[in-house]
C-alpha cells in the first residue's frame, strides 16, 4: 500500500470519527459539503448503507440546496431499495434545478432500475440538451432501449455514442450484441471500416471489427483485426485474449495459449484467462496442465463457478465420477441457475449409479434450458437403460415440443421405437430426421452396434438418399 493511499485512508477515518462524535454530541465540528460527501462515500465503501443514509439525512439538513448532496442522497436511498423516496427527493430538487445533468441522470438510473424505461429515456433526453459530454447519456439511452428489447433504437444510440467517442468500450460491446441479435453483423463490417478509414490508429475500432468477424466465425479475419489493434497498442490485453479465443476455434491451440499468456503478462492473474488456458490444455490432451490451470482459477477466485464446472467436465472425460460430481456440485453451490452444471452433475451421478440424483439434476437442467437438446438425450437414456422405454420416449417428445427442428431428437426417437418393435412409427421419425439433417444418420449406427440392424438401417437410409437425390 502506497504512503499516499495510507495517508488518505487515515484522513478519511479521522474525518468520520469527527463526524460521529459530532452526531453523538461528544464534540462540535463544522463540516463543509465536500467533507460530508466524503463521510457518505466512506460508509458506502464500507457497505454500511444504513450509516450512509443517516449521514445523508444530516448533510441535506445542513445544506438543503446542495445538488451534490441531494443527488448523493437519492443514490443512497436507491442503494437501500427506497426507490420511490429517491425519486421524490430528485423531483423536488428539479423544481429549482431543472437542468442539472447529474440530477437528471441519477433520476434516469433509478427509473431504469424500476423498469420505467420510457420515463428514464425522457429524463436522459432532457439531460442531453445541457450536457457538454454526451457519450455517457447516449449510452444510457441505448441501454434503456435494449432493456425493452427495442434493439434497432438501441443500435441507433450506440452508433451515436461512437460518433462522439470511438473508444467507448461498453458501447462497442453492446452494439455488437444488438447487431448479433438482429442479424446485422455482416452489414456492420462496413460501419467499423468507416471508423478505421477515419482513424486508422483506433485500436478499439480494429478490436471491435475482430469481435464481429469472430461472431461470424471468420476467425482468421478476426485474428488479423486483433493483430492491428495490438500493433497500435501492444498492451491491449483484451485483444490478446480474444485472439486466443479465435485461435482456439481454429484448433491452433499452441498459438491460443501464447495469446492467453500475453493477456496474463499484461493484466496479471485472472480466473477467466486461467480457465481458457485450462480448456485449451484439455483440447491438447494435456490433462494434468488442464487440471492445474482450473485449480489456479479457483485459487485466484474461489467463487468462479466456471472453473469448478471445467474441472467436473475434465474429470468426467477421465471417468473420475466421484470427483466430477464433487466439482459439479461445487459449481452449483455458487450458481444454481446454470443448466450445464446440473447436466454435468446428472451425468456423473448416473455413472455412479445414483439414478434418482441424476434424474433430479436433469429435471433442473431442462427447466433452466429447455432448448438444450443434449439434456433430453442424456435424461431419456437413464430410463431407456433401465427398460422404461415409454418414459424415455415421453422425454424425447417433450424435447421435440421445445425443439421441433432438432434432428438428433428424431434420430433418438427412431432408436427407441425400433427397440420397442414399433417399426412403422420409427420409419416416420427417421424420415423426419433425414430431412432435417441427413449426415447425422450415423448416430443410429452408434446406437445399434449389431451388424444385422445396421444393414437394415443402411438399406432404408440409402433408399431415402436415392429417392431424394
Structural element, H or E, at residue 373: helix 373-385
Look at the alpha carbons of 434, 435, 439, 440 in this order and tell me if their dihedral is positive or negative.
negative
Tell me the pLDDT of the chain (469 aa) as tens digits.
Answer: 444 344 455 556 667 676 666 566 666 666 666 776 677 677 666 666 666 767 776 666 666 666 676 777 777 777 768 788 778 777 777 767 777 788 888 888 888 888 899 999 998 998 888 888 899 999 999 999 999 999 999 999 998 998 888 778 788 778 888 988 898 888 888 888 888 888 898 888 899 899 899 989 999 999 999 999 999 999 999 999 999 999 999 999 999 999 999 999 999 999 999 999 999 999 999 999 999 999 999 999 999 999 999 999 999 999 999 999 999 999 999 999 999 999 999 999 999 999 999 999 999 999 999 999 999 999 999 999 999 999 999 999 999 999 999 999 999 999 999 999 999 999 999 999 999 999 999 999 888 888 788 888 888 888 888 777 6
Between CA 351 and CA 360 the distance in angstroms is: 14
A 10 A CB-CB count for 333 gives 11
- For residues 403 and 373, the answer to whether their CB atoms sit within 8 Å is yes
d(CA 341, CA 319): 17
Name the nearest CA neighbour of 334 among 374, 307, 295, 300: 307
User: Using CA atoms, how far apart are residues 207 and 229, in angstroms rounded to an integer?
Assistant: 6
Task: Report the half-sphere exposure of 180 (CA within 13 A, side-chain side).
Answer: 15
What nine digits make up the cell of 175? 452494439
List the grid coordinates of 259: 495469446
The pLDDT assigned to 418 comes to 93
Comparing C-alpha atoms, which of 330, 279, 286 is closest to residue 294? 279
Amino acid at each position: 500500500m502506497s504512503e499516499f493511499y495510507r495517508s488518505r485512508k487515515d484522513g478519511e477515518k479521522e474525518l468520520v470519527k469527527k463526524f460521529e462524535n459530532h452526531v453523538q454530541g461528544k464534540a462540535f465540528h463544522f463540516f463543509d459539503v465536500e467533507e460530508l460527501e466524503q463521510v457518505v462515500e466512506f460508509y458506502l465503501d464500507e457497505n454500511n448503507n444504513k450509516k450512509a443514509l443517516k449521514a445523508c439525512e444530516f448533510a441535506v439538513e445542513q445544506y438543503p440546496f446542495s445538488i451534490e448532496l441531494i443527488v448523493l442522497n437519492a443514490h443512497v436511498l436507491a442503494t437501500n431499495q427506497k426507490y420511490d423516496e429517491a425519486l421524490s427527493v430528485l423531483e423536488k430538487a428539479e423544481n429549482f434545478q431543472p437542468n442539472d445533468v447529474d440530477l437528471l441522470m441519477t433520476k434516469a438510473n433509478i427509473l431504469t432500475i424500476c423498469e420505467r424505461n420510457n420515463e428514464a429515456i425522457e429524463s436522459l433526453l432532457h439531460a442531453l440538451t445541457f450536457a457538454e459530454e454526451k457519450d455517457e447519456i447516449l449510452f444510457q439511452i441505448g441501454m434503456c432501449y435494449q432493456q425493452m428489447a427495442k434493439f434497432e433504437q438501441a443500435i441507433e444510440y450506440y452508433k451515436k455514442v461512437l460518433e462522439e467517442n470511438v473508444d467507448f468500450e461498453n458501447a462497442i460491446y453492446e452494439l455488437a450484441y444488438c447487431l448479433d441479435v438482429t442479424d446485422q453483423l455482416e452489414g456492420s463490417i462496413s460501419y467499423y471500416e468507416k471508423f478505421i478509414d477515419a482513424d486508422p490508429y483506433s485500436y478499439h475500432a480494429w478490436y471491435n471489427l475482430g469481435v464481429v468477424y469472430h461472431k461470424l466465425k471468420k476467425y482468421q479475419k478476426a485474428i488479423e483485426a486483433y493483430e492491428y489493434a495490438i500493433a497500435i497498442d501492444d498492451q491491449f490485453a483484451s485483444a490478446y485474449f480474444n485472439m486466443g479465443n479465435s485461435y482456439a476455434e481454429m484448433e491452433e491451440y499452441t498459438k491460443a495459449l501464447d495469446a492467453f499468456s500475453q493477456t496474463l503478462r499484461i493484466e496479471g492473474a485472472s480466473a477467466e484467462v486461467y480457465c481458457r488456458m485450462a480448456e485449451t490444455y484439455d483440447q491438447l490432451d494435456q490433462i494434468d496442465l488442464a487440471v492445474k490451470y482450473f485449480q489456479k482459477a479457483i485459487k485466484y477466485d474461489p467463487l468462479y463457478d466456471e472453473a469448478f464446472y471445467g474441472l467436473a467436465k475434465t474429470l468426467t472425460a477421465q471417468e473420475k465420477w466421484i470427483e466430477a460430481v464433487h466439482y459439479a456440485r461445487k459449481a452449483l453451490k455458487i450458481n444454481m441457475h446454470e443448466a450445464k452444471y446440473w447436466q454435468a452433475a446428472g451425468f456423473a451421478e448416473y455413472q455412479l449409479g445414483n439414478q434418482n440424483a441424476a434424474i433430479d439434476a436433469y429435471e433442473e437442467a431442462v427447466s433452466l434450458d429447455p432448448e438444450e437438446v443434449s439434456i433430453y438425450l442424456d435424461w431419456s437414456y437413464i430410463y431407456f437403460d433401465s427398460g422404461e422405454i415409454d418414459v424415455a420416449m415421453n422425454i424425447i417428445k417433450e424435447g421435440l415440443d421445445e425443439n421441433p427442428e432438432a434432428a438428433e431428437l428424431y434420430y433418438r426417437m427412431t432408436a427407441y421405437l425400433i427397440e420397442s418393435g414399433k417399426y412403422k412409427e420409427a420409419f416416420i421419425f427417421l424420415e423426419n430426421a433425414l430431412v432435417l439433417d441427413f449426415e447425422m444418420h450415423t448416430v443410429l449406427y452408434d446406437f445399434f452396434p449389431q451388424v444385422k440392424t445396421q444393414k437394415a438401417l443402411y438399406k432404408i437410409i440409402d433408399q431415402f438418399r436415392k429417392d431424394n437425390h
